[in-house]
Chains A and B, each alone.
Chain A
Amino acid sequence: MTDITQTPNAPVPSDKPKGGSLFEKDPRTKRRNAAEGRFKMYGIAAIGVGLLMLVVLVTNIVTAGMGAFQQTFLELDVTLLESKLDKKGNRNIDDIKKVSTFGYAPLVSAALESEVEKLGIQTDLKPKKMAGILSKAAMAKLRNYVVANPDEIGKTVSFRFLANSRVDGYIKGRVTRASIANDKSISSEQLDFVDQLIDAGVLYKAFDPDFIFGADASDQRPEAAGIGVSMLGSLFMMLVVLALALPIGVAASIYLEEFAPQNRLTDIIEVNISNLAAVPSIVFGILGLAVFINYMHLPTSAPLVGGLVLTLMTLPTIIISTRASLKAVPPSIRDAALGVGASKMQAVFHHVLPLAAPGILTGTIIGLAQALGETAPLLLIGMVGFIASNPPDGIVEGFLSPNSAMPAQIYEWSKRADPAFYERAWGGIIILLLFLVTMNTIAVILRRRFERRW
C-alpha cells in the first residue's frame, strides 16, 4: 500500500521493475560483466603465456638434447697383433698392461686401412688421418678389452667404436663443411671419407646407452661422456638426505605440533624454520664447506657431504609440510584416542601419524626433488670439475669417494669448450627433468590415493 502511494508516477512494476529488468542489463551491470569478462581473458592469457613458455622450453630442451642419446658409431674388425701387444708372447698380464693406449693407435689405423681396402673405398687420406675420425675413447676400449681378455691376442675381433665429436656433429648436422674451414681437428677430405663410410654402411648413428650409464670424459672426447656416474652421485646424496631429513624433520614437527608448549621460545623456533626455508641454497653450501669440510674434515667432493648440505636445505621443507599435514588431522581423533585411555604418544603414533603419512610423504618427495636439482651448494664443496670419472666400487665408496651430481655435471658440461658438450648438457637436462617429473608424479599419486579429507 505505502509503496503505491509513495511512487504514484512510477511505471507499472510488472512492466518495468525498479532497477531494470533482469533480462535487460543496465549500464552498471554491463560494466561489471565486462570487467569480469576482461579478468577471465587476463587469466586465460596468463595461462596461455605460461603454457607457451612451457612448450617453447620443452621443445627447446628436446631438440637440443635428443642428439645426446644417439652417437655415431663405426664398425671395425681389429686384428690384435701379438707383435704390438705382447712382444714376449707369454700372455703375462703385467707385460700386456705396459702397452699404453697410445700403443693401440697403430692397430686401429691398420684396421681402418684394411677395412677401406675391403670396402673398395678410394681415398687419398693417410691411415693416421683416417683414424682421426674416430674417438680417442676407441683406444681405451680396445685396451680394456685386451687386458680383460688376453687370450684374444692374435685374433681378429669386431668392435663398434665411437666416431669423434666433429664427425658426430657432421652426421647430426651441427658441423658443416663451411663451419670447419678453420678447424684443425678435422678436414673436408675426412668428411668426404665419412660420406664414403656412410654409403658403405659401416658408419651409422645409433642409440648410445653409455650416455645414460657411462662416466664423464675429458675435454678431448665429448662423444664418450656420460651422466651415469654423476647419477649415482645424486642417488647416494638423496639416500643421505632421505635417511637424515625424513626422521629428523618428522620428529621435529611432531614435537612442535603435538607436544611443545605454546610459548615465546617455540614461536621463535617456528618463525625461524619458515625463515630457513627461504635461505638461498648457496648459503648452505658455504656452511657445508666451513663445517663439514674445514672443521669436521670430511672428504671434499664426497656425496656424503653433498647429502649433508642438501639435508640442511630440505629440512625446513619437510618440517613445514609435515606440520601442515599433522594440523589437518582433526582434533577429534586425538580426543577420541585420549578418551579411551591412550597416552599422548600412543595417540600421536597410533592414530595421528598414520593419517598424516601421505601428506608427509608428499612433502618429502617434493623436498627430495628440489634437492636433486640443486647445483649452487655443490659448487662450493668441490663437486664441479672432472670428478665423475670412476663408478664407485661399493656402497661405502659411493658415499665417500669423490663424485659429482647430475645438475653439477650439466653445469660443468655447459662450461667446456667443445660445442659437443653443449648437446650433452641438454641431454643431461632431459634426464634430470625425467627424474623430477617422475618424483612429482609419485607425490601427486600418493596424495590422490591416500590423503583423507575430513
Chain B
Amino acid sequence: MSFVKLSASVLAIAAVSATTAAARDQVQIAGSSTVLPYASIVAEAFGENFDFPTPVVESGGSSAGLKRFCEGVGENTIDVANASRQIRENEIKVCADAGVTDIIEVQIGYDGIVFASDINGNSFEFTPDDWYKALSAQIVVDGALADNPFKTWDQVNPNFPAQPIAAFIPGTKHGTREVFEDKVILAGCEHTGDFDAYLAAAEGDSDKAKKKAAEKACIALRTDGVSVDIDGDYTEALARIDSNKDGIGVFGLAFYENNTDKLQVATMSDVVPSTESISSGEYPVSRPLFFYVKKAHIGVIPGLKEYAEFFVADEIAGPDGPLAEYGLVSDPELVKVQDAVANEATLGGGS
C-alpha cells in the first residue's frame, strides 16, 4: 500500500517537475529592502491595470539582489534587481562572465536618510561633524589621533544635552550604510580638519593609496558598544529606540513618515528632511535608488518592459504619484529616464 503511494507520488513529482519547462509568466524581482516598498506599490498597481500577473518582489538587500541578477540569463534567474546604490564595476564584470551583458539601468528617484530619536526625548540639530566626532573610532584630541573619548552628546557639542551616545546605524550589508559613511562620517571628517591628521598617519606607496587609507580610517566606527549595527530592518532600529530612549537611529524618510507618532526627526546642517528639501538638494544625506533590467529577458518574460515603463511613468514616479506620496523623492529628470527605458538603453551606451 505504502509502496504504491510512494511510487505514485514520485511519479507525480516527476510530472510536476517536467512542467517547470513551461514559460514563466510573471516578472520576478529581488534586491534592496529600501526599494521593496516602492517596487511592491508599482507591482500591485501594475497587476491591477494590466492583463499581466502581479510581479513578485523579493527582498534581501542590494548586493544579494545584484548577485542573483548576475547569475545568468534564463527563466530561472530574476529579471529585475532593485538596488539602493549603483551597480559596481566588479558586479558588471561578474554579470558579463555569466552572460548577462545588456543591463538597463533605471534610476527611479532619491531616498532621504534621516536621524530620528524617541518622540518624547531631546531634539537634536546635527551636523556631519557631530556624527563623525561621536562615532568615529579615532579622532584628533590635542593635536594627535586618539581613541574616541566621548560618552555623552554634550561632550561632542556643548549645545547638546548630556544624553549618552547610543546610535543604531544600518549594518554593513545595507546600501544605507555606505551613504551614511560617505555623506555623514567622511564629510564630518573632512570638515573638522581631522582628515589631514589621518592622511599624515596613513601608510601607502602613493598619494592616492594614502588618501584611500585615510578615508578608510575616517569611516572606521568605534566598536565599544556606543554605535550598534542593525542588520535587520528599520523596524528593528525602532524597537531598539523603544527600549532605549536615549537611542538615535538612522532611518529612511518613508519609514519615518509612517512612524511620526513614535519618532522625532533631527535636522542635518539646519535642514529638516522632507521630499522637498531632498529634491532641492538642501538636505545633504540622500542617495539615488535604482533598478536594473536584464535586456535579454525583454520579449521573453511577458510584461517586463511594460513593468519598467510603468514604474517610471509620470503617474507613478512623478512628483504627484503614489511613490512620492510614500516618501520617494522623484527624479527631476524623469523624462530622460523614461526615454532610456523606452529605448532600452543599456549600460555602456549600447542599445
Binding site for B on A (CB under 8 A): 97, 100-102, 136, 140, 143-144, 175, 179-185, 217-221, 243-244, 246-248, 250-251, 254, 293, 296-301, 304, 349, 353, 382, 384-387, 389-390, 396, 399-402, 414-419
Contacts and interface: CB of A to CB of B under 8 A. Distances in A.
Contacts of B58: 300-301, 382, 384-387
A416 B20 CA distance: 32
A251 to B, nearest CB: 5
B56 A386 contact: yes
A419 B259 contact: yes
B6 A248 contact: yes
Nearest to A222: B258
A101 B49 contact: yes
A218 B43 contact: yes
B47 A389 contact: yes
Nearest to A94: B51
Given A386-B39, A386-B43, A389-B56, A251 B2 contact: yes
A250 B36 contact: no
Nearest to B261: A179
In this complex, which of A180, A183, A220 has the most chain B Cβ atoms within 10 angstroms of its Cβ?
A220
A349 B1 contact: yes
- Binding site of B, secondary structure by majority: helix, strand, loop or mixed? helix
Interface stretch (B10-18, B127-135, B287-295): B10-18
A255 B12 CA distance: 23
- Binding site of A, secondary structure by majority: helix, strand, loop or mixed? loop
A400 B22 CA distance: 10
A304 B16 contact: yes
Interface in B1-34: 1-3, 5-6, 9, 12-13, 16-17, 19-20, 24, 26, 28, 30, 33
A270 B53 CA distance: 47
A100 B49 contact: yes
Given A183-B260, A250-B2, A401 B9 contact: no
Interface residues of B, number: 55
Contacts of B44: 217-218, 221, 386, 389
B56 A243 contact: no
Contacts of A218: 37, 40-41, 43-45
Contacts of B48: 101, 140, 143-144
Q: Which 10 A-B pairs have the closest CB atoms?
A: A179-B261, A386-B40, A219-B37, A385-B58, A182-B260, A247-B6, A386-B57, A389-B54, A218-B40, A218-B44
Given A180-B261, A218-B40, A414 B56 contact: no
A244 B9 contact: yes
Contact of B326 (A140, A220, A382): A220
Contacts of B160: none
Contacts of A385: 30, 36, 40, 56-60
Contacts of A401: 26, 53
A221 B12 CA distance: 39
26 contacts: A97-B51, A101-B45, A143-B49, A144-B48, A183-B260, A217-B44, A218-B37, A218-B40, A219-B36, A247-B3, A251-B2, A254-B2, A298-B20, A300-B76, A382-B58, A385-B40, A386-B44, A386-B57, A389-B44, A390-B53, A396-B19, A402-B28, A402-B56, A415-B33, A417-B235, A419-B258
